[in-house]
Structure 1
């Protein structure tokens, strides 16, 4: 009797790789490199959050919260959204708390996308977006962001919208380039979403990390967009708690109902005591965000100075905490070869640019640095990176 042999790996899983960003952290540990790859701070979160987490655990907030989020946390989110974005939302019907913004995007996709739908993604893009669309059965349609200012071509964007378009993903401030989408750009996107009855998934995790007078504009605040925008955010970046895995989604009651069902069966709920501690985060005063922006402005300028000394060309970010840099002048065939050299020989880990593109070769001349690090960490990286000027023929 002939044995039946089946393909054990799904076609979906074969369409993307494991996270390159997380792999760079593993390599940094293996080779003792300074980790400027993965986007996590290596300094402490606000004391208020630590104390609130301790208190929540001591008060036995250690069992399941309501699936879609601790009531006190949802109410605190609604209050912050009101004062920061000017949006009035109902915490009972318009907020879903998730295990980080990563799960949030996956839950949103699975709740709204059907096989055969198309999702527009600006490229370069945070590496999760493409696989999320594939897992939901969608076809990603990539729209190029053009250096040096990372603007999209309006004609190309308009041509991408069609009867199969279900959604568009906007990440502002943008990872990896640091671009902050302008009101003009968002207005074009809003017009197209309304014309084609398309949803907008906005990743606004870096909303408070802005430089040089740039302002964060939430797409949901534009006329006609509140009812078709799904806003994704979380505690990770603004409050330096990437390991807590607490994210949240804000949208209409109807869309929230669908998202909550998917979220429930993905993870049941985010950590209960850390959600309760999130109340303290949402209640921090405006001065906290002003100081946060100043802190990251200093770190950005510090790393820019280091890259100048090392002779690495870059694009000055308007927001977020990354610097996208060019490496063509160094003569390596691919970004992977160059990042391996940096890790093993120079002792600094970065992210290869190809991980942010649908076709890896488009990213061969780019790498991404993360500067959400202590001054000592950046100084150590700088001492190593200056070796490039001596070891590589510029």
Structure 2
């Protein structure tokens, strides 16, 4: 008996395979630069706060989320120029649920969502579950292999059915940081064409251009046209602890809070609160480590034949152009995993394929000079330098 007929149509057919998710037992020789799961070890003061919450019995329901954490999130976001009361904050079980909760608030059968291409797949695959369609607006690919905003492409992707624009700022995988001028153009279209902006701001602490993150929700006329989705995943290096939040305007936030999703657990919320209150030095230290990794990797990539690697505006991914090697993105990542034992992600897997020709490498492996504690063992042969050595030998062999 086949149960497929009972299964939602988006899940039918063969499972999607990728070089980043390989069947069988883990290969001890493999170095992963695939998932965006930071390697830094959670500080003791945050871990102890989670442990303490469990020990004193904070393990029960918390309908609506921890009020003290909501206050702390509102205070945190105010540094970007948007003052919001705690009532406009909704706690979620991580960034993925922040996105899911936002779409659950907005989308009906037949609605359309616009997303840039390439884009984070976690933000573009969900609309189908609500019967909505995603239209992609290709970013402009520049000579150095980087991607930039294309206003005309965005206009062409908008239709009378457009309910929402999904934007990551900074972008994943592109590292694109949208400045005030670009966000103003997006805001003007939102008002003129009457759609909501879902602003995924997961990587706001990791901007390398010298600019400060600018929230689109602060622009005139946008307070009730924006839902901000954020998470502790990247900010405090706890991808598996699943805590995030959503911020929206006074009226829109009431509907966000009605979306029937679970939210975070008490212990995770208490750890999140501790991090927001006392954890900025940890974030500052991580930022410095990432910057070193990015600068080191960019230099190494640009010394490889057939590879062009732009400096990312934000986030902690390298997204080099590998077209000069003569391989597609999929061929490159598959062979890299098989021959060099390094996992990366094909750029074609983001969005509708406009990332073809690029490959995403996550800067989650430590340099041998790293000072911070890591849950990856500092083991000779498996550091970031070792991964880059393997990639270089692979490229020299095939280019």
Q: Same fold (TM over 0.5)?
A: yes
Structure 2 CA distance for partners of 1:380 and 1:181, relative to 1, 3 Å = same
Q: What SS does the corresponding residue of 1:236 show, helix, strand or coil?
A: helix
Aligned to 2:21: 23
TM-score if structure 2 supplies the norm length?
0.88
Aligned residues: 381
- Write the distance in 2 (CA, Å) between the matches of 1:244 and 1:278: 9
Which of 7, 11, 30 is equivalent to 1:33? 30
**1:293 Cα shift?**
2.8
Q: Any conservation in 1 of the 2:124–2:351 contact (CA below 8 Å)?
A: no
Aligned to 2:8: 10
Moved over 6 A (4+): none
TM-score if structure 1 supplies the norm length?
0.89
Q: Any conservation in 2 of the 1:310–1:388 contact (CA below 8 Å)?
A: no
2:313 pairs with 1:315: no
Structure 2 CA distance for partners of 1:188 and 1:316, relative to 1, 3 Å = same
Structure 2 CA distance for partners of 1:20 and 1:74, relative to 1, 3 Å = farther
Q: Any conservation in 1 of the 2:224–2:251 contact (CA below 8 Å)?
A: no
**1:65 Cα shift?**
1.9
Structure 1 unaligned blocks of 5 or more = none
- Write the distance in 1 (CA, Å) between the matches of 2:177 and 2:24: 31
Cα-to-partner distance string for 1:213-263 (whole Å, 9 max, x where unaligned): 133111111111112110000101011111101111011243333323324
Q: What SS does the corresponding residue of 1:115 show, helix, strand or coil?
A: coil
Compute the RMSD of aligned alpha carbons.
2.5
Q: Any conservation in 1 of the 2:308–2:322 contact (CA below 8 Å)?
A: yes
- Write the distance in 2 (CA, Å) between the matches of 1:201 and 1:115: 18
Q: Any conservation in 2 of the 1:172–1:206 contact (CA below 8 Å)?
A: yes
**1:207 Cα shift?**
0.2
- Write the distance in 2 (CA, Å) between the matches of 1:161 and 1:357: 16
Q: What SS does the corresponding residue of 1:88 show, helix, strand or coil?
A: coil
**1:292 Cα shift?**
3.6
**1:16 Cα shift?**
10
Q: What SS does the corresponding residue of 1:12 show, helix, strand or coil?
A: helix
Structure 2 CA distance for partners of 1:285 and 1:130, relative to 1, 3 Å = closer
Q: Any conservation in 2 of the 1:64–1:269 contact (CA below 8 Å)?
A: no
Structure 2 unaligned blocks of 5 or more = 369-382
Aligned to 2:248: 251
Which of 204, 220, 223 is equivalent to 1:223? 220
After superposition, where does 1:276-315 map in structure 2 within 5 Å?
276-284=270-278, 288-311=282-305, 312-315=307-310
Structure 2 CA distance for partners of 1:27 and 1:104, relative to 1, 3 Å = farther
Aligned to 1:69: 65
Aligned to 2:90: 96
Q: What SS does the corresponding residue of 1:61 show, helix, strand or coil?
A: coil
- Write the distance in 1 (CA, Å) between the matches of 2:180 and 2:104: 29
Which structure dedicates a bigger proportion of its chain to helix?
Answer: 1
- Write the distance in 1 (CA, Å) between the matches of 2:25 and 2:367: 18
**1:285 Cα shift?**
6.4
Aligned to 2:109: 115
- Write the distance in 1 (CA, Å) between the matches of 2:100 and 2:132: 12
Aligned to 1:130: 124
- Write the distance in 2 (CA, Å) between the matches of 1:34 and 1:351: 13
2:159 pairs with 1:159: no
**1:17 Cα shift?**
6.0
**1:35 Cα shift?**
0.5
Aligned to 2:360: 368
**1:74 Cα shift?**
1.1
